[in-house]
Chains A and B, each alone.
Chain A
Amino acid sequence: MYDVAVIGAGIVGTSIARELSRYDLNVVVIEKSSDVANGSTKANSGIVHAGYDAKEGTLKAKFNVLGSEMYEGICRELDVPYKRNGSLVLAFNDEDLRHIEMLYKRGLTNGVRELEIIDKNKVLSLEPNVQDNVVGALYAKTGAIVSPFELAIALAENANQNGVEFMFSAEVVKVYKEKDIFTIETSQGIVKSRYLVNAAGIFADDINDMLGGEKFRIIPRRGEYCLFDKAVGGIVTRTIFQTPTNKGKGILVSPTVHGNLFVGPNAVEMERKDDVSTTKEGLDEVLRGGSRSVKGINPRDIITSFTGIRATPDTGDFVINVPTKNAVNAAGIESPGLTASVAIAPYVVSLLEEQGLKLIKKGSFIATRQNTKLFINMSEDEKREVLSKNPTYGRIICRCEHITEGDIISAIRRPLGAKSVDGVKRRVRAGMGRCQGGFCMPRVVEILARELNIPLTEVKKSDEGSFILTGKTK
């Protein structure tokens, strides 16, 4: 019997799990996929939004601004790369100018600090590769970038370190309540819990239906992205937005925390929730859109492209409510959800408390989590030190990102460590570079098989079914 079961191990579920791990509670996180951050959290823009965008008075506005303020501290506590690079919303005509003026005022109302409207010359002096027909911009100095999946992994690890259990490859098929106890039937067996949190991302409406909460629907909206080589990562230093339309924030051009550049996303409503494919039209749209803002975007420099799915609620705002007694929905957390999630977590916990969950702070709670430092990021002294203890740090496996065997082994052995090729990639970047695993993937498969003590044919790219090898040769 658990005190709280959290459904979903994306950025929302892991934030809530980590928040709950401060208290003397038995908590379990139930995740459909084989790893943390395997849904929308792994494929989004990775932007910590300043908070001028969401309409005044909405939950989006409230938690965006709160989250933005909290981010740097949380990333520091959890040893996650975060960079306050600032963001610009470009205006190309009078109408755009009026719009950024409105955003500026909205930002002030929402409580965003360090907002400024700047003229063309200032824009071009800050970002010389912005298209010359720009006429002005809204400059938000508090805009930042983060690695979303690394943050979710860090939150999960820290929660786990503080006693939270995780169930993976456990899809929730049925939930019912008897005498104030939730019975959660999953593909990995039955879980019983006194309280329940629905953080199931694009499937949160299905869970809400199981709980009998007031109806809402998640309308999946695809966003396609192109990721570029680090060689062009410096085209812009700030995150470049276009003036928003009713379809979204437009196509962004932004550096990533690791020095790549990305362009995207578009916004296309979809029929199926699990279709993460990209399309020719979508990728073309993204590249055209990016080039409207920034010069020098060349498809030759693309190293990969991907699709993320927004969990857009049909209510127009985040759905954070009580679907049935002793349960809380944290649903429809679309943009600025990544930013908001860290502020949503304590609010969700307070809603649980209102319903009777006893919160007793644990003296043993460890607030900080230290990531394994990658060999490439170590000082010369640290490198020598680690090499003297562990020669596997002297073997480069991923040539593009200079990731060593020691780095990969450590990613596998960490709490909630990597179990798949993609898991390794998201934890230590092996395969994230310009050759996209062409050289290192066979080596990573070997290391995973050895470390997990499984045959090579059992090693997966990601979830169940994503096998890499089909058998031995003749």
Chain B
Amino acid sequence: MMGGEKMKRDLVIIGGGPAGLAAAIEAKKNGIDDILILERDKRLGGILQQCIHNGFGLHIFKEQLTGPEYAQRFIDEVEKLKIEYKLDTMVLHLSENKHIAALNPKDGIVEIDAKAVILAMGCRERTRGALNIPGSRPAGVFTAGAAQRFVNMEGYMVGKKVVILGSGDIGLIMARRMTLEGAEVKMVVELMPYSTGLKRNIVQCLEDFDIPLLFSHTVVKIHGRERVEGVTIAAVDENRRPIEGTEQYVECDTLLLSVGLIPENELSREANIKLNPVTSGAYVNELMETSVDGIFACGNVVHVHDLVDYVTEESYLAGYGASKYIKGEYVKDETGFNTKAGFGIRYVVPNRINPKNVKDRVNFYMRVNDVYHNVDLVVRDGDRIVYKVRRNHVSPGEMENVKLSKDVLEKVEGSELIFALEEVAK
């Protein structure tokens, strides 16, 4: 039976990482039995499988787990609930009317018509090309995640003298990992005047190992013909442009890039789903439904999260939403309001709320656009303050979240709920 398999399913979930697994579990618990998870890797768990450090699960399980341990809890539950999945399966096409074409070595081409779809494809790393770093093109330039795969999954080292560009979390984690494996991590270079990673990772992965972190610096040239021989770094001005005369040559054989993640929305584009240019992910509503009827999205494919715990929470909601949709219990009317990012806030997810569909509450996730101290994070419905919290320190590297209950949301009168920072003293 090679190729040509055609099927109809109630719910198809694209991606078997933390987002897809949580969404599947919640949909099943809400009465949907006919579920299929499509995972492109050889096992479930997604990128967590290569994140062998701990620190996962503090919010959800109140304990510290490694990535594979965190994933395993969900994989075990998927098995227990007898949720079907296909591994080694890549979705090639997704249409607006929820027709899916997927491919794997066992079944060949599989075509599926789904009642509902949940997008949980995650994100990919920005590359050297996207940064357009000048210089030669030798071996030894890796994204931090590709290096992590080699080190943690295959058991091979990617270099001996390492410079890391970008203080994203994967880069910080890899600084520690490479050091523990005997490599010399010379420095982490960060373009911004602040870190884009979690504070705890800076302490545990850099400071504890005396690895220097240079803010407001970048790599301006890569050297080496066959293999990296060094990089030139330079300080940057407030417009992030290299300052002439500050160039410094650093000898190394490896450059790791941890310069940001991009939600993987190729399939979403194909299905004509409206994407938010700020997050590069889909616009979603109170049940994580996208602009296309019956297609939901959750996790890093919507916006890049800092903690997997938040991915799980958001994905439970998408699973719940899809179950409501399939069961026909989902109210679609004009009631509700949009959310808007005001001063100091880069984006808010979800983007539209119809309080009628909210179960108990909505967790709004957002990122600030700069480092601020002693600010009020304020949510306003017109002039009325709906919610306000004092924050000593906020940073773009750490996601903020605000929980608003159903009854609070039902009282919103305006067409917009605005999330902003106030009383700002930078």
Contacts and interface: CB of A to CB of B under 8 A. Distances in A.
A277 B228 CA distance: 12
B369 interface: no
A462 interface: yes
Most chain B CB atoms below 10 A, which of A299, A394, A396 = A394
Contact of A436 (B127, B135, B150, B242): B127
Contacts of B157: 469-473
26 contacts: A280-B220, A280-B221, A300-B130, A303-B127, A304-B128, A305-B134, A383-B3, A384-B3, A391-B105, A391-B106, A394-B103, A394-B106, A395-B88, A402-B90, A402-B92, A405-B105, A435-B125, A436-B127, A438-B127, A464-B226, A465-B226, A466-B227, A471-B157, A473-B155, A473-B156, A474-B180
Interface stretch (A207-215, A341-349, A453-461): A453-461
A23 interface: no
Contacts of B174: none
B182 A474 contact: yes
Given A438-B146, A465-B225, A395 B151 contact: no
Interface in B116-160: 124-125, 127-130, 132, 134-140, 143, 145-146, 149-151, 153-160
Contacts of B151: 473
B253 interface: yes
Contact of B137 (A306, A441, A446, A460): A306
B181 interface: yes
Nearest 6 Cβ contacts at the A-B interface: A465-B226, A304-B129, A461-B139, A394-B105, A391-B105, A384-B3
Nearest to A301: B130
A235 interface: no
Given A394-B104, A442-B154, A463-B226, A279 B109 contact: no
Contacts of B109: 380, 383-384, 387, 394
Contacts of A446: 154
Interface string B217-236: 00011110111000000000
Contacts of B103: 394-396, 404
Interface residues of B, number: 54
B31 interface: no
B221 A299 contact: no
Contact of A465 (B40, B143, B227): B227
B160 A274 contact: no
A210 to B, nearest CB: 24
Interface of A: 226-227, 274-280, 282-283, 299-300, 302-306, 380, 383-384, 387-388, 391-396, 399, 402, 404-405, 435-439, 441-442, 446, 456-457, 460-474
Contacts of A391: 2, 105-106, 108
A460 B225 CA distance: 13
Given A384-B4, A470-B160, A471-B156, A395 B104 contact: yes
B318 to A, nearest CB: 22
Contacts of B139: 460-462, 466-468
A383 B102 CA distance: 13
Contacts of B182: 474
A240 to B, nearest CB: 21
Nearest to B143: A438
Given A305-B129, A436-B128, A464-B226, A469 B158 contact: yes
Given A435-B125, A466-B227, A473-B181, A441 B156 contact: no
Contacts of B137: 276, 306
A467 B156 CA distance: 12
Most chain B CB atoms below 10 A, which of A274, A300, A438, A442 = A438
Contact of A226 (B105, B124, B132, B160): B132
Contacts of A442: 146, 149-150, 153-154
Contact of A438 (B124, B180, B242): B124
Interface in B157-180: 157-160, 180
Nearest to A393: B105
Most chain A CB atoms below 10 A, which of B104, B132, B150 = B132
